[in-house]
Amino acid sequence: MRKTLASARKRMIFTNSTNVTNFAYGLIANMAAVVLYGSTYVPIKRIETGDGMFYHFVSCASIWVVSLFGDLLLRTPKFHPLAMLGGMIWATGSVAAVTIVKAIGLGLGILIWGSSSLLMGWASSRFGWFGIDAQDVSRPILNYCGAGLCLLSGLVFFFVRSDVKLHPESETIPILIDKVSKEIKSASFIQFFTLCILFISGCLLAVMAGLLYGSSFIPVLYIKNHSACHDSIFYGASVYDLDYVHAQTSGVFLASSVYFTIYCAVMKNKPRVYPKAILPGFLSGFMWTMGTYCWFLATNYLGAVVTYPIVTAVIMTNLFPFLQGLMNGLIFFFATCVVLTGSVLTAISKL
């Protein structure tokens, strides 16, 4: 009897130790993903991107090339075409990013698509939408509160104003210049009405892009959830998230190639090419891919129901590096506290 109790205690201690270790690994990978995702647009901060289609194609090509090396390091796991669907969904949302930024500005754009992405990604994994299994957590109340605070932080960030300058020519506006608020203040009635229509369209487009971003991981979850079903075509599929990165990025590159081809046809084979955006675009793609590897690794340890709110919400704190005045600084500080609190609650809900 004593031996049985001692053995049970050892198993319990080992299990708890393993859970804590996995939690630590997942949290570190999640934070690395936040840094990499949040820095994706930094290389093109002052680079002309025009309509953004050329930059989008270059960055997506970089994403696929980097993932190819990663796939070789993982010894080329089995390729599942369904995982490509997630990449195609992401690329569809991403292709509208530059249009959104030019319509409503970078800060509000990422705020809206980040919030809708957070909601879609968290809810689909938590409640088991689209045929995937609902993910349980040890402390569901903390998970709900954490996700709610992360979403609330986005609303608080809305009131923060960044200190940015206007660029004289709209065609050569770098992607990170936020100009909408100043244009509205100086516009006539007709211009104001036009800008309002543009603003509303940009907001709706940002919501749609966010929903697509939040859905991009669902095909991978679907494959993993059905890997144990004997009557499923995915029976025996890997449950290691990193094995699906290359397949997903292949979908990204395929979709971006299709969109760029359509763009070239619409432009009558005269696409707007910006040579200075090539190397920064490749660097952006590299950082995005490395961030994706980190995020998939974090999801492997913590689950999407934990990683989605943390990654999406904390990235919002990188949107306003330049603040105007003390009040904006205080609002930014408060919003940062909210998002960090939400992230902590979401993280410990797994323990």
108-126: pLDDT as tens digits: 777 777 778 877 887 888 7
Q: Is residue 349 part of a domain?
A: no
Extract the residue ranges of the chain whose pLDDT is less than 70.
1-19, 106-107, 154, 157-193, 312-326, 328-329, 332, 347, 350-351
Q: Is residue 249 part of a domain?
A: yes
Instruction: Compute the chain's Rg from CA coordinates.
Output: 22
Domains of the chain: total: 1
Whether 252 and 220 have beta carbons less than 8 Å apart is answered as: no
Gap between the terminal Cα atoms of the chain: 30
> Which 8-state DSSP code applies to residue 162?
B
Residue with tokens 């968290």: 122
Cα 337 to Cα 284: distance, rounded to the nearest angstrom? 28
Backbone angles phi, psi at 293, to 5 degrees: -60, -45
Q: Is residue 256 part of a domain?
A: yes
pTM for the whole structure: 0.78
Q: What is the pLDDT of residue 262?
A: 94
Q: What is the pLDDT of residue 165?
A: 41
Q: Is residue 293 part of a domain?
A: yes
Q: What is the pLDDT of residue 304?
A: 75
Whether 284 and 98 have beta carbons less than 8 Å apart is answered as: no
Q: Is residue 338 part of a domain?
A: no
The Cβ of residue 1 has, within 10 Å, a number of other Cβ atoms equal to 5
Structural domain boundaries, residue 74 = 41-135+173-302
Q: What is the pLDDT of residue 18?
A: 63
Backbone angles phi, psi at 46, to 5 degrees: -125, 30
Q: Is residue 5 part of a domain?
A: no
Which neighbouring-strand residues pair with 162? 323
Q: Is residue 142 part of a domain?
A: no
Which neighbouring-strand residues pair with 323? 162
Q: Print burial letters for 204-231: b (CB count within 10 Å at least 16), e (below 16).
A: ebbbbbbbbbbbbbbbbbbbbbbeeeee
Give the whole-number percent of the chain exceeding pLDDT 70: 76
Amino acid in the structure at residue 219: P
